[in-house]
A and B are shown apart, each in its own frame.
Chain A
C-alpha cells in the first residue's frame, strides 16, 4: 500500500481513459456525440492483442487497433452525419456491434497466453524528481508518455490553431462555418475518425500495457462509458480530461491494492478479512462517475458553461441553422 506505487500504476491505468476521453472530446467538439466508445475500445483491445500475437510486434498491434476502431467509427459518422439519424441510438448501436464483433473474433483469445508488450522505460533526470518523478516518469509504458504529450498538444490544437478554430466553429455554429467555406461534413467525419482511433489506442493500452490479455467484455468493463462521462466533467477541455482520467486511474488501482494488506490505518483491514466487501469497492468507479457528472453538471449550470451548441444535432444544409 505504498501511495507512490498506487499513483504510478494509477497513471498507467488512467492513460486508457485519457486516450478515449481525448478522442471523444474531439468528436463532440465537432458536434458529433459518439456513444460507441465502449465498443470501439473493446474492438481495439481485441485487435491489438490478436494482431500482436500473430505478428509478435506490439507496434503493429497498436496501429491495427487504431485502424480497426477508426473504421468502426466511420459507421457512426455515416449514420450521424450523412444520414442525419439520431446520434444516441446510433452510438449505442455502435457499442453493441463493436462488442459483438469483438466477442466473435476474440473467441479463444483468452487462452492465447502472453504477448510482447509495449516497451516501458524510465526517463533520465525527470524520474529523479522527488515524489513526482517515480509517479510519472519511472518505468512507465511508452503509451503513458505519449499520453503526456497528447494533452498539451490537443489543448493547443483546439484553442490556438486555425484547424482548431474550424473544429470549434463546426461544433458551435455549423451553418456559419459552412458559409465561411468550411466543409462541415468532411470535418465531422474526420473528428469522429480521430475519436475512433484514439478509442482504439485506449483499447490497445489495456491489452498491450495496463492489463495484458483478452477477457471478453470485462477487458474494458465500462471504461468507454466512463470516458463519455468524463468528457462532460472535463467541460470538453483536454486538460481537465487528463486530470479526471488520471484520478480515475488511481481510483481503479487503489481498489485493487486496498484489499491486499492485513492492516489499514492501524486497524484490521476489513477488505482483507471480508473479501465480499470487495464488491462495494468494485462499485466505486461507477458511483464516482455519477458523482462527477453531478458536480460537472452543476458547475456547468452555475458558470453557464455548456456543451458545444450543435452537439448531437445533424447539420442539414439549407435548413435554418442556429
Chain B
C-alpha cells in the first residue's frame, strides 16, 4: 500500500504516500481532528437533507439550543458531566489497548449502587448530605468497578475477549435495573423508584440562588466537580506516575512491557476496575444530580457509547476530554428536540468513522510527485 503500483506515462503527476517517521505536530493533529469533525457534519447534513430535513436549520438550532444563553449552557454542562466520566473511563482502558465497551453498563450499575443506598435503604432518608453523598459515591464507584472487574478478570484469567464480555454486561445491567425499578422499588406501579430525599441529591447551582442571585435557574450540579477532579487525577496517573507509565508501555508495546517485568495480568484487572469505577461514578452523579430517582431511560441513555467517541477524539488525554465532552453534551441536549430523533446518534457515529479514517493523515505524508522525478 505504501507505494502505489500504477504505472503512468512520464511527466504525469501521481499521489505518493510516505510513512511519517516522526510524531506529527500538535497543530497537525488538532487540525486533522477538527477537519474530520467538519467532514462528519457535512456528511450528516447530506443524510439529514436526504430524509427531507434542512441541515443548516438543524445545525444552527443545535448551536442555539445548547450555547445560546447562560441557562442552556448550564444544561449543556449537565449533559457533558456524565460524558466526561465515561470518556475518562474509556480513555484509561483504551490507553492499555483494553477495549472496554462496557462503560454504559458500568455507568448503569454505578447508578444502581448509589440508588441502593437510598432505596434499600442503607441510610435513613433524613441522613445528612455530608454522609449521604460520600457513601453513595463509594457505592457508585464500587458497583462500577465490580462491573468492570468481571471482563477484566475474564480477560486476564481466560483470555476472554473483553469487547464482547463488557458489551454483554451492558444488557445484563439494563435488565438488572429494570428488575429493581419494576419489581422492588417501583413507585405506585410506575417504572421508576420514588424520588430521593433532599440529602441524597447533589447540590445544583440554583440551590445557592438565595445567596447568589446570578445562579437562579442554573442546573449545573456538583457532579461536574467530580468529573474535573477525576480528569486531573487521571492526568497525573497517566503522565506523571510510574503506574501510568506501565499502562502506556503495555498499550504501546506489550512485548517490551513483558520484558521490563511489568505484570500485565494484574494491570489488566486493575485498569478495568478503575475504568469501571470512573463510569460508575458517572452513574452516581447522574442519579444524584439530575434524575434524582432510579429510572432506566435517562440512565441508560448511551453515555457510555458517547464516552468512547469523546475519548478517541480527545486522543485519550484526560484534560482534553472535558471540552470535547461539552461539545457532545451540546449535541445530545439539542438533539432531544430534533426530528428524526436518531440524528444525534447518527452524527456521533459518522464523527467516529471520520476520525478513525483521518488517522491515516497522521501516519502518512501525502505527496504529489511527477513520475520519473522520484
Bound-complex Cα distance A88 to B341 (A): 27
**Docked-complex contact B346 and A107, CB < 8 angstroms:** no
Bound-complex Cα distance A283 to B168 (A): 9
Bound-complex Cα distance A282 to B183 (A): 15
Identity of the chain A residue whose Cβ is nearest the Cβ of B352 in the assembled complex: A93
**Docked-complex contact B346 and A225, CB < 8 angstroms:** no
Chain A residues in 8 Å Cβ range of B347: 100
From the candidates A78, A96, A222, A317, name the one contacting B349 in the complex (CB within 8 A): A96
- Looking at the assembled complex, report how far the CB atom of A45 sits from the nearest CB atom of chain B, in whole angstroms: 14
- Looking at the assembled complex, report how far the CB atom of A178 sits from the nearest CB atom of chain B, in whole angstroms: 11
Identity of the chain A residue whose Cβ is nearest the Cβ of B346 in the assembled complex: A100
* CB of A297 within 8 Å of the partner chain: yes
- Looking at the assembled complex, report how far the CB atom of B302 sits from the nearest CB atom of chain A, in whole angstroms: 9
**Docked-complex contact B172 and A286, CB < 8 angstroms:** yes
From the candidates B160, B175, B343, name the one contacting A104 in the complex (CB within 8 A): B343
* CB of A75 within 8 Å of the partner chain: yes
Give the interface SS of chain B, mostly helix, strand, loop or mixed.
helix
Identity of the chain B residue whose Cβ is nearest the Cβ of A316 in the assembled complex: B1
From the candidates A82, A98, A106, A280, name the one contacting B1 in the complex (CB within 8 A): A82
- Looking at the assembled complex, report how far the CB atom of A89 sits from the nearest CB atom of chain B, in whole angstroms: 5
From the candidates A90, A93, A102, A297, name the one contacting B159 in the complex (CB within 8 A): A297
* CB of A268 within 8 Å of the partner chain: no
**Docked-complex contact B353 and A75, CB < 8 angstroms:** yes
Identity of the chain A residue whose Cβ is nearest the Cβ of B344 in the assembled complex: A100
**Docked-complex contact A100 and B345, CB < 8 angstroms:** yes
Known pairs A279-B183, A318-B3; A97 contacts B340 (CB<8 A): no
**Docked-complex contact A298 and B352, CB < 8 angstroms:** no
Chain A interface, number of residues (Cβ within 8 angstroms): 60
- Looking at the assembled complex, report how far the CB atom of A35 sits from the nearest CB atom of chain B, in whole angstroms: 7
Which residues of A259-306 are within 8 A (CB) of B?
Answer: 274, 276-277, 279-280, 282-283, 286-287, 289-290, 293-294, 297-298, 300-301
Which residues of B148-184 are within 8 A (CB) of A?
Answer: 154, 158-161, 163-165, 167-169, 171-172, 175-176, 178-179, 182-184
Identity of the chain B residue whose Cβ is nearest the Cβ of A81 in the assembled complex: B1
Indicate the member of B51, B160, B356 with the most A CB atoms within 10 Å: B356
Chain A residues in 8 Å Cβ range of B99: 88
Chain A residues in 8 Å Cβ range of B167: 222, 225
**Docked-complex contact B171 and A229, CB < 8 angstroms:** no
**Docked-complex contact A96 and B348, CB < 8 angstroms:** yes
From the candidates B2, B51, B172, B345, name the one contacting A96 in the complex (CB within 8 A): B345
From the candidates B160, B176, B312, B346, name the one contacting A101 in the complex (CB within 8 A): B346
Bound-complex Cα distance A103 to B340 (A): 8
**Docked-complex contact B356 and A290, CB < 8 angstroms:** no
**Docked-complex contact B176 and A279, CB < 8 angstroms:** yes
Question: Beta-carbon contacts of B50-89 to A below 8 Å, as 1s and 0s?
Answer: 0100000000000000000000000000000000000000
**Docked-complex contact B356 and A89, CB < 8 angstroms:** yes
Question: Beta-carbon contacts of B327-354 to A below 8 Å, as 1s and 0s?
Answer: 0000000000001111101111110110
**Docked-complex contact A279 and B175, CB < 8 angstroms:** yes
Question: Beta-carbon contacts of A83-116 to B below 8 Å, as 1s and 0s?
Answer: 1111011101111111111111111100000000
Identity of the chain B residue whose Cβ is nearest the Cβ of A296 in the assembled complex: B160
**Docked-complex contact A97 and B346, CB < 8 angstroms:** yes
Bound-complex Cα distance A38 to B80 (A): 27
* CB of A254 within 8 Å of the partner chain: no
Bound-complex Cα distance A232 to B47 (A): 35
Bound-complex Cα distance A86 to B97 (A): 11
**Docked-complex contact A99 and B349, CB < 8 angstroms:** yes
Indicate the member of B1, B99, B158, B175 with the most A CB atoms within 10 Å: B1
Chain B residues in 8 Å Cβ range of A85: 356-357, 359-360
Question: Beta-carbon contacts of B245-274 to A below 8 Å, as 1s and 0s?
Answer: 000000000000000000000000000000
Known pairs A97-B349, A185-B1, A280-B175; A301 contacts B356 (CB<8 A): no
**Docked-complex contact A279 and B341, CB < 8 angstroms:** no
**Docked-complex contact A225 and B348, CB < 8 angstroms:** no
From the candidates A104, A283, A315, name the one contacting B171 in the complex (CB within 8 A): A283
From the candidates B51, B163, B178, B360, name the one contacting A279 in the complex (CB within 8 A): B178
Chain B residues in 8 Å Cβ range of A138: none
- Looking at the assembled complex, report how far the CB atom of B50 sits from the nearest CB atom of chain A, in whole angstroms: 9
Which residues of A51-103 are within 8 A (CB) of B?
Answer: 75, 78-79, 82-86, 88-90, 92-103
Q: What 9 pairs across the A-B complex have the smallest Cβ distances?
A: A103-B342, A100-B346, A276-B183, A96-B349, A97-B349, A107-B340, A93-B352, A279-B179, A286-B168
Residues of A near any B CB (own CB < 8 A): 35, 39, 75, 78-79, 82-86, 88-90, 92-108, 185, 221-222, 225-226, 228-229, 232, 274, 276-277, 279-280, 282-283, 286-287, 289-290, 293-294, 297-298, 300-301, 315-319
18 A-B residue pairings within 8 Å (CB atoms): A79-B353, A92-B308, A93-B353, A94-B349, A96-B348, A99-B349, A100-B348, A102-B342, A229-B161, A232-B161, A279-B182, A279-B183, A282-B171, A283-B171, A283-B175, A289-B168, A293-B161, A294-B158
Residues of B near any A CB (own CB < 8 A): 1-3, 47-48, 51, 99, 101, 154, 158-161, 163-165, 167-169, 171-172, 175-176, 178-179, 182-184, 305, 308-309, 312, 339-343, 345-350, 352-353, 355-357, 359-360, 363
19 extra A-B contacts, CB within 8 A, seeds A89-B352, A283-B171, A293-B164: A39-B349, A78-B357, A83-B359, A83-B360, A93-B352, A97-B349, A97-B350, A98-B349, A99-B342, A100-B345, A101-B349, A107-B339, A185-B1, A222-B168, A222-B171, A279-B182, A290-B154, A317-B2, A317-B3
